[in-house]
Amino acid sequence: MSKELLSVVVPCYNEEETIMPFIEKMKEIEAELPQLDIEYWFVNDGSKDKTLSVLREISTASDSYNYLSFSRNFGKESALYAGLEHARGDYVTVMDVDLQDPPELLPKMYHIIKEDDYDCIGTRRVTREGEPKIRSFFARKFYQIINKISNIEIVDGARDYRLMTRQMVNAILELKEVNRFSKGIFSWVGFDTYYLEFENVERTEGETSWSFWSLFKYSIDGIISFSEFPLMLSAIVGLFSFVVAIIALIFIIVRALILGDPTQGWPSLVCIILALGGLQLLSLGIVGQYLGKTFLETKKRPIYVLKEEKINPRGDEDGL
């Protein structure tokens, strides 16, 4: 009987220094999982350094190293999708190459998914040491907000690092949206997920490609992709200010009838006009965000464009 296959999907963006340490580490893990065949899918997400040459080189070393290389930087979410699309394993794991997703958890994850009835073993960081305090604060707030206003649930500190069954991967691949917010997608497809906890690990080499601003945009994308609450909020605020305006109008008419009509109140008028104008622009902005996303989705552009790939045949497919 042939062994079960585990696919490891690894997005790489400017990771020339981290790929080799990652491979060395994974060799130790492979030794702990002799019951599995392991294939790798490195996805070069338009790196500007020598990542692609490193991938080319390692792919000659063993048939288990496959790679896909994009024509430009499409973002980690697209890289994950490409990897999942190509993965052929009975189980698939997605893992960062910088060793911040500890590979030593993998054997444990595999045992849990095998023995208990789970479809997915996720991981979450219980500490955020080594991360700027302000970033941790906003990250926590983001999780609180998105869990409240959307119908998906994202565990605080959940990483993309997870081990999934083929069935779950197929479900994820059914979601072909261009604006991919993976954390939401993993949760949206459902299935039973068990979360393993671990302490934050700092990057080994290289630098994170996330700035505060890009994280902020990422969270807004997440909210827009999985919640209609902001739209409803603008409607509620609009209704509220309308009702307040009507009440104020009645008050002013009654006061004018009783006390006469001294021409007063232009400063308050200016304030009201500014406040309402601001609210209108804000609502328009919210609607615009959704419209923009809809516009991009309706174009149905591909999620990524490949420039180069190396796909090794699987051991049992090429008749060996």
Q: Provide the binding-site residues for ligand UDP, judged by CB under 6 A.
A: 11-13, 15, 45, 73, 75-76, 79, 96-98, 100, 208-210
User: Considering beta carbons, is residue 13 or 110 the nearer one to ligand UDP?
Assistant: 13
Q: Note the helical H segments in 33-115.
A: 51-61, 76-86, 106-115
Spatial strand order of the sheet with 65-70 comes to: 193-198, 120-125, 158-165, 91-94, 4-12, 36-44, 65-70, 306-310
What 3-state DSSP class applies to 92?
strand
- Minimum CB separation of residue 176 from Mg ion in Å reads 27
Could you say which of Mg ion, ligand UDP, none residue 84 binds, taking C-beta under 5 to 8 angstroms by partner kind? none
Q: Is 268 left (phi over 0), alpha (psi -120 to 50) or beta?
A: alpha
User: Considering beta carbons, is residue 199 or 316 the nearer one to ligand UDP?
Assistant: 199
User: Considering beta carbons, is residue 170 or 209 the nearer one to ligand UDP?
Assistant: 209
Could you say which of Mg ion, ligand UDP, none residue 73 binds, taking C-beta under 5 to 8 angstroms by partner kind? ligand UDP
Could you say which of Mg ion, ligand UDP, none residue 44 binds, taking C-beta under 5 to 8 angstroms by partner kind? none
Distance CA 43, CA 57 (A): 14
Contacts of residue 272, Cβ cutoff 8 Å, sequence gap at least 6? 245
Name the β-bridge partners of 229.
Answer: none
List phi, psi (to 5°) of 146.
-65, -35
User: Considering beta carbons, is residue 210 or 240 the nearer one to ligand UDP?
Assistant: 210
Could you say which of ligand UDP, Mg ion, none residue 79 binds, taking C-beta under 5 to 8 angstroms by partner kind? ligand UDP
List phi, psi (to 5°) of 314.
-75, 145
- Minimum CB separation of residue 97 from Mg ion in Å reads 8
User: Considering beta carbons, is residue 54 or 286 the nearer one to ligand UDP?
Assistant: 54
- Minimum CB separation of residue 199 from ligand UDP in Å reads 15
Minimal CB distance to Mg ion: which residue?
100
Contact footprint for Mg ion (CB under 5 A): 96, 98, 100
